[in-house]
Amino acid sequence: MASELTFIMVKPDGVQRGLTGEIISRFERRGFKLVNLKMVHASKEHIEKHYEDLAGKPFYPGLVKYMSSGPVVAMCWAGKDVVKQGRILLGATNPLASSPGTIRGDYAIDVGRNICHGSDAVESAKKELELWFGQEAAGIQYERAIDQWVYEN
């Protein structure tokens, strides 16, 4: 069975607004498998590394401040096509452009308070999982009895 991994994070506003369970539920109900999770209050330096590709953007200082302002919930999810499907579940970067039914489209308004993060490609997922989980980047290995009801093969 395909076991792609992605890095999904509930941002500080998502944690403060009590949306952690809701975000986890949406991935669980879809059939994806949670293989790692931790709460972290990340340092400014850690966030700068996570968003290094955006350094130089006008919103970057505010983004680093926002993301290091409180704890986040860092997760590793596994499943078929989970990187792309995870992004679809989250919705567009700007919640005003996110469809209702997506996480951002249902719970957020401003792009600078868009409550969740998801890796945008398999390669960036690998990098982000290594940054946030280090040696445990591959997640916890376990079998799920329901997988025969989620996947045909």
Enumerate the active-site residues.
Answer: 117
Cβ atoms 79, 31 nearer than 8 A: yes
Cα–Cα dist 29/21, whole Å: 12
The first and second tokens of residue 92, run together, are 């567009």
Nearer to ligand IDP, 65 or 80 (CB): 65
CB-based contacts of 120, cutoff 8 Å, min separation 6: 83, 87
- Contact call for residue 61 and ligand IDP (CB under 6 A): no
> Least separation, in Å, of the C-beta of 118 and Mg ion?
8
Nearer to ligand IDP, 37 or 111 (CB): 111
Of residues 21, 1, 9, the one with CA closest to residue 87 = 9
104 has binding-site annotation:
yes
- Contact call for residue 6 and ligand IDP (CB under 6 A): no
> Given its phi and psi angles, is residue 61 left (phi above 0), alpha (psi -120 to 50 degrees) or beta?
alpha
Three-class SS state of 79 = strand
Stretch that binds Mg ion, among 27-35, 36-44, 113-121, 125-133 (CB under 5 A): 113-121
- Contact call for residue 122 and ligand IDP (CB under 6 A): no
DSSP 19: -
- Contact call for residue 112 and ligand IDP (CB under 6 A): yes
Nearer to ligand IDP, 111 or 150 (CB): 111
Residue type, 63: L
59 has binding-site annotation:
yes
Residues annotated within the binding site are 11, 59, 87, 93, 104, 114
As annotated, the binding site for ATP includes 11, 59, 87, 93, 104, 114
